[in-house]
Amino acid sequence: GENVEQHPSTLSVQEGDSAVIKCTYSDSASNYFPWYKQELGKRPQLIIDIRSNVGEKKDQRIAVTLNKTAKHFSLHITETQPEDSAVYFCAASIPGGGADGLTFGKGTHLIIQP
C-alpha cells in the first residue's frame, strides 16, 4: 500500500516568515495530493490540492509543488499569520480499489510565533 512520510513533525516560524512542509510518497501510481489543515479540536479541512499532471498550484499565500520523479510534494505558506497555527496533513491517494481513500502523513504542528 501507499506510504506517506511528512517532515518536520513540528515547525515554529516567526509571524510574517515563510513555512515549508515536505512529504514523500511511495507508490508512483498515486495521482492526487491534498493538504488538510486541522485546528485544535476541529475537523481536518482541505486547503489546497494538486494532481499528478500539474507541477505547482497557488492560492493566495499557499502554494503546493509536486515532483513526480522524486515522489515528493511540498506545502509553502508565505507571510504567515497567527491563524495559520494548526496541524497540517499531506495525503496521497490510494491507487486501485475505486474508493479513492487517502493515506495521510503523520502531520506537522505549525506554530506561528508573534
Contact residues for another protein (CB under 8 A)? 32, 34, 36, 38, 42-46, 49, 87, 89, 93-94, 97-104, 106-107, 109
Q: Which amino acid appears at position 84 of this protein?
A: D
- DSSP 3-state of 98: coil
Closest CB 30 distance from another protein, rounded Å: 11
Based on CB atoms, which residue is closest to another protein, 24 or 34? 34
Give the span between the Cα atoms of 20 and 23, in whole angstroms. Answer: 10
Q: How far is the CB of 39 from another protein (least distance, A)?
A: 12
CA–CA–CA angle 37, 38, 41 (5° rounding): 165
Bridge-partner residues for 7, per DSSP? 22
Q: Which is nearer to another protein, 80 or 108 (CB)?
A: 108
Rank residues 57 and 78 by Cβ distance to another protein and give the closer one: 57
Angle value at C-alpha 6, between 26 and 37, nearest 5 degrees: 120
State the nearest-atom distance from the C-beta of 41 to another protein, in Å.
Answer: 9
| Nearest distance from C-beta of residue 46 to another protein, angstroms | 5
What cell was used for 110?
505549525
